[in-house]
Amino acid sequence: MSVIAEHAPDVKITIVDINAARIEAWKSDNLPIYEPGLKDVVEKVRGKNLFFSTDVEGAIREADIVFVAVNTPTKTFGQGAGMASDLQYWEKTARNILAVSDRSKIIVEKSTLPVRTAEAMASILNSNDKGIHFEILSNPEFLAEGTAIRDLEEPDRVLIGSAQTPEGLAACREVVDLYARWVPREKILTTNLWSSELTKLTSNAFLAQRISSINSISALCEKTGADVSEVAKVMGQDQRIGPHFLKASVGFGGSCFRKDVLNLAYLCEHYGLHEVACYWKSVVDMNEWQEKRFVLRMLENMFNTIASKRIAVFGFAFKADTGDTRESPAYYVVKELLAERAHPVITDPKAIPEAKKDLADVLDQVEFTEDPYEAAKGAHAIALCTEWKDFKALNWKKIYEGMEKPAFVFDGRNLLDAGKLKRLGFQVFQIGK
């Protein structure tokens, strides 16, 4: 929204949330999330045409267009638990919009939603006797964390789905015009509602599938002496395959991939497509196996026992340049280390506060420090889980000197210069090597 505000100075945008602390944080110098470049954009438009408020009803009443971006976590209860999306926040929001509106509006689905959610929303919103009409659009967000501002300023594409009726197409044109202020028209794609909802799930599923595919090959590389980075590089040169998203790793994390792939699989089951569901579910299974395999490799190489050994976990965020730890592979690694009764010491430049929340139930068994030298001091091994550039630039000689010998590095992101580390005396293990 702040990027839209930046490019559409005549449009007034009010961001509302029921969480007052969050809204206060957005108004302050200390934004509630870390995202490179975001603060500059927010500061440029805040108080001019971008406002933050807890007056949800007031903002709905005032608006011509409502973007709904409430969360749709994986359901933890009842039918579809562990796979389906929990749509209760979406439905509450729709009912709230209906209750306070006294004129027609465009409602834009920004959250990632199961296919045909718009249909359910339309039937709730348009079941009114106020004589007003709500047109539902789907405008899924493709930004990735850590590169959000760049992804928004120069998107590969913007997608807007609408009903193929005169009213639907007219609403679609309004939102197209908003993006067209800075996005070239040919990159703004319009489709029917169901294609738009489904495309978001399938885009994430295909991206996650690439990582699981290369991670499956990484296991084979470790057995055969092939080097997964070399294999990926050569494969990526084939234009039909392309070079991106082929980095083998300890596993993918983040709020989207696991959730969306499982949601896609659930959708397939719902429509009786069992084989299709199994195919996509295996993308998540491979990821879980890769996380587990990482710790097993540590165990095997550290003489089959890591009990009571200090292990420095370098990085807890699910990827670099974010403080977000949702579904982070580091979390699973720490849990597996604890199952082996090791003593993990976590270091991360941005994610320590979130890490403490995630590990609240085992706080007495883990340590946290922002100083990687401190984390590695007296450790038997380093498990690198996030590709923070800072880790590359450390004084590895100093780290080596502070560690127990033999000193192990398990580089779950293939970030470090293995040759250099080996010359310093480390035993180095990288993914797929």
- 388 touches ligand UDX by CB under 6 A: no
- 207 touches ligand UDX by CB under 6 A: yes
Distance CA 171, CA 162 (A): 8
Distance CA 22, CA 237 (A): 44
- 145 touches ligand UDX by CB under 6 A: yes
List 172, 256, 268, 385, catalytic entry: 256
Closest CB 414 distance from ligand UDX, rounded Å: 10
Nearer Cβ to ligand UDX (69/144): 144
Nearer Cβ to ligand UDX (101/215): 215
- Does residue 278 carry a catalytic annotation? no
Please select the residue that binds ligand UDX; options are 318, 388, 391, 396, rule is CB under 6 A: 318
Nearer Cβ to ligand UDX (129/156): 156
Q: What is the 3-state secondary structure (H, E, C) of 325-392?
A: CCCCHHHHHHHHHHHCCCEEEEECCCCHHHHHHHCHHHHHHCEECCCHHHHHCCCCEEEECCCCHHHH
Closest CB 143 distance from ligand UDX, rounded Å: 6
Nearer Cβ to ligand UDX (65/143): 143
- 433 touches ligand UDX by CB under 6 A: no
Count CB neighbours of 371 within 10 A: 9
Please select the residue that binds ligand UDX; options are 83, 149, 211, 311, rule is CB under 6 A: 211
Distance CA 203, CA 86 (A): 20
- 204 touches ligand UDX by CB under 6 A: yes
Nearer Cβ to ligand UDX (249/263): 249
Q: How far is CA 324 from CA 33, 255, 354, 413, 416, in A?
A: 8, 9, 7, 17, 22
294 touches 252 (CB < 8 A): no
- 252 touches ligand UDX by CB under 6 A: yes
Q: Which residues bind ligand UDX (CB under 6 A)?
A: 141-145, 204, 207, 211, 245-247, 249, 252-254, 256-257, 318-319
